[in-house]
Amino acid sequence: MYKYKYHIFCCVNERPADNPKGCCKRKGSAEILDYLKGTVHEKGLKNEVRVTATKCLGACSHGPSVVIYPEGVWYTVPTIKDAEEIFNKHILNGKPVDRLFMKR
Ligand code: FES
């Protein structure tokens, strides 16, 4: 049985600035990760929600990339405000945020 209600993977992969693939870290993903981890801690959800930093998820040009399981929803999360919306709607209320679904 799955231990957590939600498992959030946040890409913090970094490449050199001149790399044509780009990377999530240069688009602010470390701040998104900090927000998600901090909010889980603040709300006392560490036994229900796990946030894991990852290397490249293979969607570099669409990042910052965040994937939430068990649904397997892929998000593009450009700002902390967007991360807040995902947390409040998806994690706390079980309603994925369609407008931030990754377009691949
Ligand atoms: S660098 Fe984040 S998905 Fe590739």
23 lines ligand 1 (CB under 6 A): yes
Task: Determine the atom of ligand 1 nearest the C-alpha atom of 22.
Answer: 1
Number of structural domains (the chain) is 1
Q: Is residue 68 part of a domain?
A: yes
CATH of the domain at 79: 3.40.30.10
Model pTM?
Answer: 0.95
DSSP code at position 101: B
Residue 1 lies in a domain: no
> Which of residues 30 and 2 earns the better pLDDT score?
30
Torsion of CA 33, 75, 8, 20, to 10 degrees: -60
Going from the Cα of 58 to the center of ligand 1, the distance in angstroms, rounded, reads 5
What residues make up the domain containing 89?
A: 6-100
CA-CA distance, 61 to 36, in Å (whole number)?
Answer: 21
pLDDT digits (tens, 9 = 90+) for 76-101: 999 999 999 999 999 999 999 999 99
| Residues 18-72: tens digit of each pLDDT | 999 999 999 999 999 999 999 999 999 999 999 999 999 999 999 999 999 999 9
Residue nearest to atom 1 of ligand 1 (CA): 23
Residue 75 lies in a domain: yes
As given in the structure block, the two tokens for residue 2 are: 């799955």
53 lines ligand 1 (CB under 6 A): no
> Which residue from 65, 66, 76 has its CB within 8 A of the most atoms of ligand 1, so it is best to mutate?
65
Residue 51 in 3-state DSSP? Answer: strand
Distances (CA, A) of 27 to 9, 22, 72, 91: 16, 9, 22, 23
Spatial distance between the Cα atoms of 9 and 20, rounded to a whole number of angstroms: 23
The confidence score (pLDDT) of residue 104 equals 74
Residues forming a β-bridge with 50: 7
d(CA 17, CA 6): 33
Please indicate, yes or no, if residue 81 is contained in any of the structural domains: yes
57 lines ligand 1 (CB under 6 A): yes
34 in a domain, yes or no? yes
**pLDDT band (50, 70, 90) for residue 1:** low
